[in-house]
Every structure is written in C-alpha cells, then in structure tokens.
C-alpha cells in the first residue's frame, strides 16, 4: 500500500484521483475509481444540467465510497447553480479549474469540502495559493482535454519547489511506473484521465472507446478548433488535446477562418449527435497509445497501484 499526504487525508488505498472529464466521467466511473481505492471525480461541463450532478452523485454515494466533483471556473460565473448542486451532493473534494478559483473556495470550505485547482503556469499556482486551494494539480500539456502549454515534469518540479500544498501530477501518467515516477519526484498522487477512456463505466460511446484503443500517442493534437466551431466560450489559453481526425486535419491552424463558419459548426453539432468521430472531438492525452484494452476503472486503479509498488521497490535498489 502506498501512503502519501493525500491518501491519508482522503482515506484512500491508492494515490490516484480520476480526472473529472466532462462527457466521460459520470457517477459510474467515479464509483469504479473509488472502489479501486482511489478517488473518483465527476466531470461537469459548461452546459451540464444541475440536476444531472445530483443524479450522478448518488451512484458513488449509494456505494458508500467517497468521490469528488470537477467544475470549470469560467462556467460558474454564468452557471452558479452548478456550484450549489456540487455542494449539495456532499463530495469530499471539488476541483475548480480553468479560471480564478477565488470566488468559490469560501463557499466550499464553509460546507466542509476540500478544494483542488489545476495549474498550468507559475502564475496559476500563485493565484491558487492566494485563493486558499487545498490541493494543487500540476497539469501538463500531455494531458487529454483542455490543458496548457507546459510539459508535466518541468511544471511539477517548479510547483513542488515553491509550495507546501499537496500536489497531484496530471498529464501523461498511464502506468504504475509513471505513477511511481511522479511520487518519487515529490507529488502526493496522480490525476489520471486517459487510462479510463476505455473503461466500460465511462459515459463515452463504445465507438469512442474503440477509437481510443486503436490510437497512437503520436496522433493527438492540441487544438481550439472544436471549441470555436461549437461557439463554446473556452478561454483561448486552454485548447484541448484530442485525437487527430478529419476535422482537425482540415481546421487546426485555420482557426480564424473557422470563426463564424456556420457550415463547420453544423458539421460538428451533427457529428456529436450522430456519433461521427471524424468530425467531433475525442479528447485524449499523449499516453493514449498505452490504452489498448477495455478494462474496468476499478481494475485500472488496482493495476496502477500494484505496478507502482513494484517500480518503487526497484527504484529503492538504485541507492546504495
């Protein structure tokens, strides 16, 4: 069993936190991750109904396992009901990322809920600490979905050098050896998303899970094309890492032309509705090439833990 500051805080067996991937991480996935000994997170999108949060939170709660909820700061400004729904669900952790977490930390702390926030730069870290965030997620550009421009390991080291808050590493961690590596670097755990994209508990489609299993880590792209086409008000500094497909090959690098193109917008809207994966996003990180089989999220967490313990034992033998 691996013990860190965060496994002790949240009474976990494994220092693995499920990334709150909107559109993928619902209550069933959160429950499965927590049953594996980690902490499952429910991902809430900018257009998610508040009632959905309540409904999904019941699944891990009914299984009597702890869980967390992930929110986006920029969306809460116009959807405060999402914060209210998250607080009412009584998770042990709420992440508020992609914007200033400051306005939301107080209400969450008042409810007895710990707060995490993802950081992609040193300035993000300073803002998170000033806001009173309890847990820092150092998210590198290798991560799937919306992320920043800096690589995980350099960012993680810089964050660890200047804060005493517990830090989770995010981006590119898909094996026990990868988990062990960030623990040795000083992280208190890993924020893991891509390895769960092929889990049957995920809310993505079977076709999307098959696409993930067939994908190479060389075939992802960090792009704003899907957000622009859909008119989503994502701040420009956070593009999304997705699998390369026909839409990204056509439009990535031509974002100025894409703005206001109603035909392209309709193409993405229709593709999402019809499950056309060549013209809708499949967000995935650079570790996607390591995801080759359908595997329960519970088993993924347990495998990460077992393999990390072995890697840590091997690492100890390097020191005489």
pLDDT for the residue 126: 98
| Rounded Cα–Cα distance for residues 230 and 221 (Å) | 18
Please, what is the average pLDDT of the chain? 97
Section 254-272 average pLDDT: 94
Confidence of residue 275 (pLDDT cuts 50, 70, 90): very high
Q: How many CB atoms lie under 10 A from the CB of residue 251?
A: 22
Quick check: 46 pLDDT over 80? yes
| Domain map (residue ranges) of the chain | 5-200+293-312, 206-274
Contact yes or no for 58/22 (Cβ under 8 A) = no
Give me the percent of the chain exceeding a pLDDT of 90.
Answer: 99
Query: Which residues are CB-neighbours of 5 under 8 A, at least 6 positions away?
Result: 166, 188
Query: 189: helix, coil or strand?
Result: strand
The DSSP string of 217-280 is TTSEEEESHHHHHHT----TT--EEEE--HHHHHHTT-HHHHTT-HHHHHHHHHHHHHT-TTSS
Contact yes or no for 238/150 (Cβ under 8 A) = no
Strand pairing partners for 283?
A: 242
Scanning the structure block, which residue is given the tokens 């799937």? Answer: 144
Contact yes or no for 65/34 (Cβ under 8 A) = yes
CATH label, 5-200+293-312, candidates 1.10.3720.10, 3.40.50.20, 2.30.30.790, 3.20.20.70: 3.20.20.70
Quick check: 315 pLDDT over 90? yes
Quick check: 26 pLDDT over 80? yes
Quick check: 115 pLDDT over 80? yes
* pLDDT tens-digit series, residues 228-250: 999 999 999 999 999 999 999 99
Section 66-81 average pLDDT: 97
Quick check: 320 pLDDT over 90? no
pLDDT for the residue 260: 87
């Amino acid at each position: 069993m691996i013990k860190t500051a965060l496994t002790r805080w949240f009474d976990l067996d494994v220092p693995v936190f499920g990334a709150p991937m909107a559109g993928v991480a619902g209550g069933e996935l959160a429950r499965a991750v927590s049953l594996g000994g980690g902490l499952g997170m429910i991902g809430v999108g900018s257009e998610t109904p508040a009632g959905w949060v309540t409904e999904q939170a019941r699944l891990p709660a009914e299984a009597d396992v702890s869980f967390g909820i992930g929110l986006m700061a920029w969306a809460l400004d116009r959807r405060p009901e999402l914060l209210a729904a998250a607080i009412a669900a009584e998770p042990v952790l709420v992440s508020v990322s992609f914007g200033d977490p400051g306005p939301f930390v107080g209400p969450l702390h008042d409810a007895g809920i710990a707060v995490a926030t993802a950081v992609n730069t040193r300035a993000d870290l300073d803002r998170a600490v000033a806001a009173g965030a309890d847990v820092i997620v150092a998210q590198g550009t290798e991560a799937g979905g919306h992320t920043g421009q800096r690589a995980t390991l350099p960012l993680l080291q810089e964050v660890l050098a200047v804060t005493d808050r517990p830090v989770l590493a995010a981006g590119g961690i898909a094996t026990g050896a990868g988990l062990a590596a960030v623990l040795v670097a000083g992280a208190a755990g890993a924020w893991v998303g891509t390895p769960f994209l092929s889990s049957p508990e995920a809310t993505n489609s079977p076709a999307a899970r098959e696409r993930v299993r067939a994908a190479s880590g060389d075939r992802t792209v960090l792009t704003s094309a899907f957000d622009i086409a859909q008119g989503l008000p994502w701040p420009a500094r956070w593009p999304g890492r997705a699998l390369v497909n026909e839409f990204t090959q056509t439009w990535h690098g031509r974002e100025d032309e894409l703005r206001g193109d109603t035909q392209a917008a309709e193409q993405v809207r229709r593709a999402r509705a019809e499950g056309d994966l060549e013209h809708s996003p499949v967000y995935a990180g650079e570790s996607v090439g390591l995801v080759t089989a359908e595997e329960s999220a519970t088993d993924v967490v347990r495998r990460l833990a077992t393999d990390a313990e072995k890697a840590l034992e091997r690492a100890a033998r390097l020191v005489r």
